[in-house]
Homo-oligomer: A and B are copies of this chain.
């Protein structure tokens, strides 16, 4: 049975075993299972757990934030919609009346919503 058990993985990564289960439920890192259902952490998972820890600490993120980033990276629709909203900043080009520009922005938003290209 190769791979570390959850408590061993917890020790070498700095997470608690409780948090390893939580991280798995959040969809971030899911180790394979032994025949009897034990979690088995391989080197990849261990490394990923350590870098996750560093990422969250260095940028003051929450697990939720990382979960959301993961969701965006896998859902092109979502990603495009968020990007569309962020890009519709209140910076309109010179010489364009506000009402025209607004309609343009709105149509852009809808175009981006329709086009599911990441």
Residues facing B in A60-86 (CB within 8 A) are 61, 64-66, 68-70, 72-73, 75, 77-78, 81-82, 85-86
Q: B residues within 8 A CB of A86?
A: 69-70, 73
Contact B85 A47 (CB under 8 A): no
If A48-B90, A88-B51 touch, does A82 touch B69 (CB 8 Å cutoff)?
A: yes
- For chain A, give the interface size range: 35 or more
If A48-B90, A72-B69 touch, does A85 touch B55 (CB 8 Å cutoff)?
A: yes
Q: B residues within 8 A CB of A77?
A: 59
If A68-B65, A109-B51 touch, does A45 touch B90 (CB 8 Å cutoff)?
A: yes
Which of B52, B85, B90 is the one whose CB lies under 8 Å from A44?
B90
Tell me, yes or no, whether A43 is within 8 Å of chain B by CB. Answer: yes
Q: B residues within 8 A CB of A94?
A: none
Scoring A residues 31 to 43 as 1 if CB is less than 8 Å from chain B, else 0, what string do you get? 0000000000011
Q: B residues within 8 A CB of A51?
A: 85, 88, 106, 109
- Closest chain B residue to A77, Cβ basis: B59
Q: B residues within 8 A CB of A73?
A: 86
